Amino acid sequence: METVTTIAAVRERVQTARRREVPVGFVPTMGNLHQGHLALVDALRERCGILVASIFVNPLQFGPNEDLDAYPRTLEADQAALTEHGVDVLFAPPVSEIYPDGMSLQTRVSVPGLGDILCGASRPGHFDGVATVVSKLFQIVMPDFAAFGRKDFQQLTLIRRMVRDLSMPVTIVDVPTTRAADGLALSSRNNYLSADERARAPALYRSIEQAASRVEAEQGSLEAIAAEAMASLEAAGFRPDYFAIRNRHTLAEAGPDDRELVILAAAWLGRTRLIDNRSADRPDKDSA
Ligand code: PAF
């Protein structure tokens, strides 16, 4: 695997592959890679002739009081893991390569209706930062396929909308969440948990699973199911941010006729904000 740090160099490597008419696969990351990131790479390997990954801790998606400076940076270990998983080119630019004029004058991409709800309501500007950097990276790499994890379900939904709305010629491949044996979704931010918090953290996914069983059995209103889940998270020592049951395709509030739903939750455990989600289908009206 070759590591390049400039836009010109990554474009040159991709163009050489294009001349061989092979599909280009792309996995954007912020580094500190775990098995969840490597599953994204694995999902593209079969269908792509060249695999590009990026590591860029994007300052535009961090709020003023968030963990930009503390965000773990582990380039050497990440390079070894990506090499082992067959990545051909790693694009690891400095901030000045992506935002040469600084961030205040940077043109931004915003996805209305999706960027300011759920996590976007608690993290103003976060999803504009994500959409902006991902569209820049797509312009730089020009991938045929790009992989995103279902763990960040709102991000995945927003990227799909952005790609559709801006007619970007890339197919988004979504990859199931990788979990630890006790159910906790893998995330770089799990490293912030103390031993005691790590032991309690799987309660987040358990609360989502319990809510999913009730949604699937139509036991109670969605509001009642979500309110009970919030209470169970508080009892388990979390400070819940939201627990929401939404239309799986639009993330809009679920109406009585919506059958394909997603349950999304965000909750603080100490100083760590965890998110997770799971699909839940209400039985078809005819079969009920
Ligand atoms: O999911 C992430 O790691 C980031 O939000 C992404 C997509 C790499 C953009 O910075």
Atom of ligand 1 nearest to the CA of 159: 7
Atom of ligand 1 nearest to the CA of 130: 9
User: What is the structure's pLDDT at 131?
Assistant: 98
How would you list the strands of the sheet with 272-281, edge to edge?
A: 239-247, 260-269, 272-281
User: What is the structure's pLDDT at 216?
Assistant: 97
Mean pLDDT taken over the chain: 97
Q: Is the pLDDT of residue 284 over 90?
A: no
160 plus 50 within the same structural domain: yes
Q: What is the 224 CA–ligand 1 centroid distance (Å)? A: 33
Whether 187 lines ligand 1, by a CB cut-off of 6 Å, is no
Protein residue whose Cα sits closest to atom 8 of ligand 1: 29
- For residue 46, give both structure tokens: 């079969």
- What is the separation, in whole angstroms, between the first and last Cα of the chain? 54
User: What is the structure's pLDDT at 287?
Assistant: 60
Chain-centroid distance, C-alpha 73: 18
Whether 262 lines ligand 1, by a CB cut-off of 6 Å, is no
CATH number at residue 59: 3.40.50.620
What is the mean pLDDT of the segment spanning 213-238? 97
224 plus 101 within the same structural domain: no
What is the mean pLDDT of the segment spanning 72-89? 98
- DSSP class of residue 175 equals E
* Spatial CB neighbours of 92, under 8 Å, sequence gap ≥ 6: 3, 4, 5, 31, 54, 55, 56, 75
Whether 133 lines ligand 1, by a CB cut-off of 6 Å, is yes
* 12 domain residue, yes or no: yes
Domain of residue 137: give its range: 2-175
* 282 domain residue, yes or no: no
Q: Is the pLDDT of residue 288 over 90?
A: no
Could you give the CA distance from residue 216 to residue 282 in angstroms, rounded to a whole number?
5
What is the mean pLDDT of the segment spanning 53-81? 97
Could you give the CA distance from residue 251 to residue 114 in angstroms, rounded to a whole number?
7
Q: Give the model confidence (pLDDT) of 7-32 as tens digits.
A: 999 999 999 999 999 999 999 999 99
Q: Give the model confidence (pLDDT) of 175-188 as tens digits.
A: 999 999 999 999 99
